[in-house]
């Protein structure tokens, strides 16, 4: 199963959701891979603590190989980094992706990631893909390569506008490029139960028939502590409320899959 996490609005918790779901998946025994496609490399830093020149080769090197015709000779490979956590591996991102984007677009390399992830699916039971907060080449490649889409939503009006836009864009892409892609659900993030506005916004989405997932992720300072420590919540504070919400969210996804 290949899950992509995407919303074109920044700051909705995309990398946090991708990394923590992947970490829970690995902790539950699934052989899990996270692919970081964001040049900001937030997921890479979160799972390794590494920055800039210390980041090992990853997806940028893979795309460079595709530009040089590596697939034609069946020599195109991707470096996979082991994390500190059992069953959890990572394909790193780096700022080098920014320089590659226009070259990849001009060479029509949009299907290369799908071919790679189909091959990697033989070794990994679950693949999570973190994307940039825009519908660029890398995000488009991820949506073509995935079979499930999670859309983070952080309970504000701007995020709602972005959500409607994402759903419409994904439907067009699905029909033209990847009919197997399904919107698995909207992940309500940074939810404050005592705030009437948050519940009202969620109720409105449910009334419209949007696929809101049944577990809402709470707003918590513990997430910032997790980022600063570069340790996913399930390992930093396994009994914390937010950690358990990620466990419940993954359980809901797996039951419905």
Contact (CB, 8 A) for 232 and 238 = no
Distance CA 188, CA 160 (A): 11
What does the pLDDT look like over 219-228, one tens digit per residue?
A: 999 999 999 9
Contact (CB, 8 A) for 58 and 4 = no
What does the pLDDT look like over 169-186, one tens digit per residue?
A: 999 999 999 999 999 999
Domain ranges of the chain: 2-256
Task: Give every CB contact of residue 23 below 8 A, 6+ residues apart in sequence.
Answer: 47, 85, 88, 232, 233, 234, 235
Model's pTM, two decimal places?
0.95
What is residue 247's predicted lDDT score, i.e. its pLDDT?
98
pLDDT band at 195 (very low <50, low <70, confident <90, very high): confident
For 2-256, CATH gives 3.40.50.300
């Amino acid at each position: 199963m290949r899950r992509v996490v995407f919303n074109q609005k920044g700051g909705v918790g995309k990398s946090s959701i991708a990394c923590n779901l992947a970490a829970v998946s690995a902790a539950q025994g699934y052989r899990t891979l996270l692919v970081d496609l964001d040049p900001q490399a937030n997921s890479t830093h979160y799972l390794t603590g590494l920055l800039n020149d210390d980041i090992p080769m990853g997806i940028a090197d893979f795309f460079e190989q595709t530009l040089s015709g590596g697939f034609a000779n069946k020599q195109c490979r991707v470096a996979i980094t082991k994390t500190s956590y059992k069953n959890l591996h990572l394909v790193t991102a780096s700022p080098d992706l920014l320089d590659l984007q226009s070259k990849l677009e001009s060479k029509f390399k949009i299907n290369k990631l799908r071919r790679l992830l189909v091959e990697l699916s033989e070794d990994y039971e679950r693949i999570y893909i973190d994307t940039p907060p825009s519908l660029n080449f890398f995000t488009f490649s991820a949506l073509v390569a995935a079979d499930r889409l999670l859309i983070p939503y952080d309970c504000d009006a701007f995020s709602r506008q972005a959500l409607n836009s994402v759903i419409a864009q994904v439907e067009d892409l699905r029909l033209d490029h990847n009919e197997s892609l399904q919107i698995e659900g909207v992940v309500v993030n940074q939810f404050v139960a005592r705030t009437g506005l948050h519940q009202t916004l969620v109720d409105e989405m449910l009334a419209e028939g949007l696929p809101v997932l049944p577990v809402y992720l709470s707003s918590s300072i513990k997430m910032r502590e997790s980022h600063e420590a570069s340790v996913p919540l399930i390992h930093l504070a396994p009994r914390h409320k937010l950690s358990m919400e990620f466990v419940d969210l993954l359980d809901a996804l797996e039951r419905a899959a």
